[in-house]
Amino acid sequence: MASASETMTAAGPQGAGMRERAWYPYLLIAPSMITLVVVSLAPFIYAIYLSFHEAKFGRVRDFVGFDNYMTLLTDERFWNSIGVATTFVFIAVPIEFMLGLIGALVLNQNVRGRSILIPLLFMPTMMAPIVVGLLWKIMLAGSWGFFSYNVLERFNILGETSIFASPDLALYALIFVDIWQWTPFMMLAFFAGLQALPLGPYRAAAVDGANPVQMFFHITLPMMTPLLAVIGLLRFIDAFKVFDTIYILTNGGPGISTETPSILANKMTFEFWNIGEASALAVLVWIAFFAFCSIFYQVAKKRLNAF
Amino acid sequence: MRKIWCFAAALAATTALTVPMVVSSAQPVLAQDAGFYAKAGAPYKGTTIRVLDEITPLQETLSKIVPDFEKETGIKVEWELLNHFEVINKGQADMLSGRGHYDAIMLHGAQLGPMLSAGVIMPLDKFVADPKLSDPGLNAADFIQAPYKTTAFSDGKQYGFINWNYNHVYWARADLLNNPEEKAAFKAKYGYELAPAKTIEQMRDIAEFFTRKKGSTLAGQPLTSDFYGIVLEGIKGGSTFSNLWVNFIENYGGDLLDKDGKPTFDSPQTVAALKMWRELWTFAPPGIAEYSLVDVPTVMGNGIAAQSLAWSDFVLGIDKPGVSPYAGKFVYAPIPAKAGNEAHRHADAEPSVTVISAASKNPEPTFLFLQWLADKKQQDKLIEIGQGGVPIRESSWAAPAITGSTNPTLFAAMKSSLDVATARPKMEKYPEMFDAMSGIAQQVGLGKMTPEQGAKEGQAILVKLCGGKSCTL
Amino acid sequence: MADAASRPEGSRGLFWTTLVIVYAAIMLFPIFWMASMMVKPNDAMFARPTQWLFVPTLDHFSYVIEQGFHWSLLTSFVLCTVSTALVVIIGTPAAYAFARFEMKGKDDLFLFILGSRMAPPVCLVIPFYLIYARVGLLDSFLGLTLAYMTFNLSFYVWVLRSFCRDLPVELEEAAALEGWSKVQIFRRVVFPLLRNGIVATSVLCFIFAWNEFLFAFMLGGKAVTTLPVSIPKLITSQGVRWGEMAVVGMTALIPVLAVVFVLQRHIVRGLTLGAVKG
């Protein structure tokens, strides 16, 4: 941050006709940067400050150094939550990705009535996550849920238990809900990508006698890669943070089998009021994400020409 | 028609006459000083106070009375109602951050421990001692004493009056319990009459008896879907654990903490109670581990279970024509005791109190308002308009809306619960404790953990949380 | 149909169309079910066995209006519009600058922008609450507008930058040679070319803001209640008011659906997030 604003040596304009004063780009980014420093950096620095204090009950007491971090890192529950979120992300996102890609390819065929179908298909993504949670509660809740009653109970699939009451199944149900909610987003973004592809290479390939599978792997996929990377990263970040639907559907239960870091942080914050530890959790998650994303960014930028 | 009216009037008149007499034995009758609040409120005329409470049928009724306070005193009350979880989140956030947006906030008994240890509740003693603010006609002796004393006071200081005597009752389907065929079959199987359960063992028998598969008959009718003998709260959080703790473990003679506040969860009594808990879950709907305190009454109202232990104020919202098709077909009873331990009855209750935030800028008018709410006049009105309710005053049991209620067993059950109700021990770490313990209640209930393991693990968690010291303040 | 049949791929088109419709029908069934709950009487709501046919009722709508939920709708609408508009105004020049100009530490600055989107909102909400409580921004319009920028501004700049990078620089150069001012170039050359991107990205921002729950819940209050935050008020002691919940949930969907329906051309072009070189 600081190094950027120090010296503004001639940042050369790209084109010959665009002779700029060096401060011009900084002027353009200034409002955004100032806003983000206020709304994003300031709360985050405050969170870092809190994470080094015993901030029980929202009242900051003593400086405790790395105590909160140590407590957290030695807490099985924290590692459990990381495990839960990792499982969640690494099952949900690839499935959404595949389904989205397949859906986009289908949608890219000679489908009629797209202008009606597209907004309809997009509906799950447009719904508020809290409503999505309630919707699936109506579907899957034990004994009174529509699906539980008409399918699971009728054919006695789960016997004496229900989906969200089963420590083994609850997480997969949540993954399913996430897939339901976000596949349309993937599908639409990929479809948009397919629509934007130039026709030239396909014509050339057709002349060479390439079949559709070859065309997909040699033309479509390479050209789509940057988009796939960007969307994948975006979903990855958001899936790791998912909160509303889990909060409504299981709130981390049964036991701690669906407790993600967000749910745990919510408990630490609003039930236990252990703000110091919750902030430490936030900082750790943030650092992990940031490290992951900067690596991803560097790689994607060089190899895929994404971003 | 007129005859009935005359009768009602006569009944009301006699009750009105007898109530003061009952009370008078405790304290000399003071003429209700109608002008007290007008006079006491005069210096604060025009002030606005903000009060946060939760939505239940009780508060919805109270909303109709609150505007009277402004008429009487000129103090404006911004009365905000949010749901149970929101009140806890937002209320505590407001107090703990020292924001002081709300002058008064309703706290469930269990929240008092953490809030008191954070020092964010204003003690009321200096107001109570102030003749300008303290209503001489309040008659605190009339409050139902056990919940009042254990909730409003801590460490010799007073923090509130008493606002809501939330309590658990036993809730069953009268139409099933009174069905002649079922009665005969039950007697043949268990050797005693089918009736609302008096003991936990009877509750278990009834639960087992009525758990039936789709296609079998229930009270002469073929079942189109499975029917269950009991429904209990089983969600992670909520009041799942307090139900297990008070209605089961305490009735079995076990407890969470001993007299010194140290964990004593691994007793044989706890193990026995957990065994019963596990067994009852096998007679409950498959969704039990998802049921919150809101879902349990809904399940009862939808008629898919024969009995329940539930919060009585929620019953008021469900057992109403137009809300549940089974309205009027329910029967209520005291929380079943452990056979052989009837003398030491326990019933889950969460007496709750509206407290003044330490950050309040208007504590005096707020104090007046809280006192006014607990006043007999308002309480009588509350019971009258609500056609019942959950009394906080002994004298309310004699109110015509309760004595003449179409639902007499509910109030008898409530009274029995309130007779033994106490507030939760004031524990600083109650949220952590309840979160962990409700997880154990779920695991044991689902059969994923044995009762012995549950007791052992629960004890270990409590010891760890309290750090070997007393868990209470 | 006649037109479709005359072409060789016509029957194929019918196949794909049917496939998509079947897929949509299955996926959208839960939403349809919820929509039917809007007019379902309470005693039929979760009746066993499931009731498919019922006499519709408008009770849920009247309750929702009685309780003033339309004010939440209005609040949500104004709040999200203002916040999204601000994001567009502030974010567009930044995205343009990041794409066009060399700046010292550009990568670091850009990673900082990305980073703003990474922290779980649950963890940011307490610092926000404590800061807002001190400066008096709780339960205020301005407070929530600002808070929404945490996740939306960074998202907007990040995505729009890709679009800007794809703009042919020659046009701007030509315009500069003509002696146009920077503002003119931006308005007449850059902006029209960016329109799809701006529309698509800002619609996404609008949806994120529209659906956001946690910030709106903790930082809002009696004065500023958004639609998602009003939903838990339907969890009452008479049980959950599912019918009313369906009404509010579906109402929340309608404006977004309408926006997507009207602007779908831009959105489909814009959802490439500028990452496909067309």
Residue in B298, B300, B311 to test binding to C, most C beta-carbons within 10 Å: B298
* Strand duo B157-158 + B153-154: pairing: antiparallel
Phi, psi of B353 (to 5 degrees): -140, 140
Contact B359, B98 (CB under 8 A): yes
pTM for the full predicted model = 0.85
Q: Which long-range contacts (CB under 8 A, 24 or more apart) does B454-460 make?
A: B454/B271, B454/B274, B455/B265, B455/B266, B455/B267, B455/B270, B455/B271, B455/B274, B456/B266, B458/B265, B458/B266, B458/B270, B459/B263, B459/B264, B459/B265, B459/B266
Of the candidates B167, B98, B138, the residue with the CA atom closest to the CA atom of residue B352: B167
As a whole number, mean pLDDT of residues B5-13 equals 46
- Contacting partners of chain A (3+ CB pairs under 8 A): B, C
Q: Among A3-12, A172-181, A224-233, B319-328, which is the least confidently predicted range?
A: A3-12
Sign of CA dihedral A60, A65, A68, A69: positive
Biggest distance spanned by C-alpha atoms of chain B: 72
pLDDT recorded at residue C167:
80
- pLDDT tens digit sequence for C153-181: 988 988 888 888 878 888 888 888 888 88
CA dist A153 and A161 (Å) reads 10
pLDDT recorded at residue C11:
60
Contact B333, B308 (CB under 8 A): no
- pLDDT tens digit sequence for C48-106: 777 788 888 888 899 888 888 889 999 999 999 999 999 999 999 999 888 888 877 77
Contact B312, B169 (CB under 8 A): yes
Instruction: Decide if A111 and C16 are in contact by the 8 Å CB cutoff.
Output: yes
- pLDDT tens digit sequence for B432-441: 899 889 989 9
CA dist B195 and B181 (Å) reads 13
pLDDT recorded at residue B463:
93
CB count, 10 Å around CB of B260? 10
pLDDT at B32 over 70: no
- pLDDT tens digit sequence for C225-276: 999 988 888 877 667 888 999 999 999 999 899 988 998 888 887 777 766 6
Task: List chain B residues with CB under 8 Å of A158.
Answer: 286
pLDDT at B122 over 90: yes
CA distance A240 to chain B (A): 22
pLDDT recorded at residue A304:
64
Across the interface, which of B90, B294, B304 has its CB nearest the CB of C235? Answer: B294
- pLDDT tens digit sequence for B196-235: 999 999 999 999 999 998 889 999 899 888 899 999 999 8
Sign of CA dihedral B293, B297, B300, B301: negative
DSSP-based three-state secondary structure for C165: helix
Residue in A57, A74, A248 to test binding to B, most B beta-carbons within 10 Å: A57
pLDDT at C130 over 90: no
Across the interface, which of A28, A134, A195 has its CB nearest the CB of C268? Answer: A195
Instruction: Decide if A255 and B448 are in contact by the 8 Å CB cutoff.
Output: yes
* pLDDT tier for residue A42 given thresholds of 50, 70 and 90: confident
- The amino acid occupying position B446 is L
Task: List chain A residues with CB under 8 Å of C9.
Answer: 110
pLDDT recorded at residue A87:
94
pLDDT at A4 over 70: no
CA dist B164 and B352 (Å) reads 5
In angstroms, what is the C-alpha Rg of chain C?
23
- The amino acid occupying position A54 is E
Contact C155, A231 (CB under 8 A): no
Torsion of CA C203, C205, C208, C212, to 10 degrees: -120
Instruction: Decide if B93 and C46 are in contact by the 8 Å CB cutoff.
Output: no
Across the interface, which of B117, B120, B290 has its CB nearest the CB of A165? Answer: B290
H runs (alpha helix) in chain A: 2-6, 23-36, 42-51, 67-73, 76-107, 114-121, 123-126, 129-140, 146-147, 170-196, 200-207, 212-215, 221-241, 244-249, 261-270, 275-299
pLDDT at B26 over 60: no
Instruction: Decide if C48 and B318 are in contact by the 8 Å CB cutoff.
Output: no
ipTM of this complex = 0.86
pLDDT at C28 over 60: yes
DSSP-based three-state secondary structure for A231: helix
Task: List chain A residues with CB under 8 Å of C100.
Answer: 14, 25
CA dist A143 and B302 (Å) reads 11
> What is the average pLDDT score of chain C?
84
Instruction: Decide if B236 and A254 are in contact by the 8 Å CB cutoff.
Output: yes
Query: Residue C147: CB partners within 8 Å, gap ≥ 6?
Result: A39, C128, C215, C219
CB count, 10 Å around CB of C43? 15
Phi, psi of B171 (to 5 degrees): -135, 125
CA dist B424 and C260 (Å) reads 52
- pLDDT tens digit sequence for B383-405: 999 888 899 999 999 999 899 88
CA dist B389 and B313 (Å) reads 7
Across the interface, which of B85, B225, B313 has its CB nearest the CB of C237? Answer: B313
The encoded tokens of residue B277 equal 């808990």
pLDDT recorded at residue B69:
93
Q: Which helix (H) or strand (E) holds B53?
A: strand B48-54
pLDDT recorded at residue B281:
95
Phi, psi of A15 (to 5 degrees): -105, 160
CA dist B143 and B161 (Å) reads 9
* pLDDT tier for residue C119 given thresholds of 50, 70 and 90: confident
CA dist B103 and B95 (Å) reads 9
CB count, 10 Å around CB of B340? 9
Measured between its terminal Cα atoms, the distance across chain A in Å is: 20
Sign of CA dihedral B208, B213, B215, B218: positive
CA dist C46 and C33 (Å) reads 12
Question: Of the segments A71-75, B172-176, C33-37, C120-124, which one has the largest average pLDDT value?
Answer: B172-176
Across the interface, which of A13, A118, A192 has its CB nearest the CB of C101? Answer: A13
